[in-house]
Structure 1
Amino acid sequence: MIRQALSDWSSEADIGITVRHVDADQIELRRAEGFTIGMRTLGDGRGVEDSTFTLGRIVNNRIGLDIWCATATAWNTSIRYYGGHFAQATGVNAAQDRFGVRLGNEVGACFHHNRHAFDAPNFELRQAGSNIAIPFLNQTSGSAIIARNMRMEACSPLAARHTAGAQDCECDIA
């Protein structure tokens, strides 16, 4: 999915791909480019769980992959992610903050995103000046968010920012 004109990142309703209600599936994302949110996995009334995603190019999005819950009865848990090239071209919305992966939820929705395992993601988020460019933004109280063998180039010095009660999370930078 490639957006015809690059988004200005002003609206989180600008989503390239939304995946909802998968269980024990194999999903391949080849490309999501030019949106505020490249791809969102959405727990909405039901959940996203026990699946495997193979990630390709996720470029020029404010948030590359958004792991999200919209309702209290939803869930987003126990997912394996392989690869993923989360990148920004030089000069794309350069003054704005950007994130490779965000784990979050609507107010009052499920906030326990557990056991998301990332193997060998590549982050080139183009931190420039005062903006921040962080691979992982975790706004949940989930546990066991694991990133192994991740690459960080042109990112802020932090591999992850946690703004809620997440625990037992780990980032292994190659």
Structure 2
Amino acid sequence: MKIKSSLLIGTACIAVFACQTNKYTEQDRITSTKNLNSFVDSVEMAVKASPTHDWSVIDSRFDSLESRADKVYKDLKAESTEVDLIETRYDTVIENAKRTEENFQKTAEMHLQNVEKWWETTAKEPTAKRAITIANIESTTKESLNWLEKNFNNLKEESREKYNKFISEMGKI
């Protein structure tokens, strides 16, 4: 009798484990993939709109969405090729965006140096002559000032401070 009871209980346990369903559904897989893909789309658009970003926040959000998708795919024992392709696309977008940001910062530094050199020369002149010089500012320096003004919000804090200093000093004349 004990053997029959043990066999019945064992069979019931096996049946329960064998019939156990996955934690996630196919809809969860579709949603997690869609969310991950949409996030990469939004990052792609954001990096086109602005050259500077908080990469740690972006990477953290991507990692969270990717982790969720990985869990769903693993639970459903589904092939994760689609997630892998999205991850590859994300890596490419980020790599290109960081290169663009680096080029932007180099361009900003070049413009700041141009204005700085011009200002060092101009500041040595007497006030009256300096005012005439500023009024007749050379085209490359004017171009640098315009570029810096246009891209002010994307500049690093240090670059913004330098730009504001030049503008302030020129305004005193």
Query: Is the TM value for this pair above 0.5?
Result: no
TM class, shorter-length: under 0.3
Structure (1 or 2) with the greater strand fraction:
1
Structure (1 or 2) with the greater helix fraction:
2
Q: Provide TM-score, normalisation by structure 1.
A: 0.23
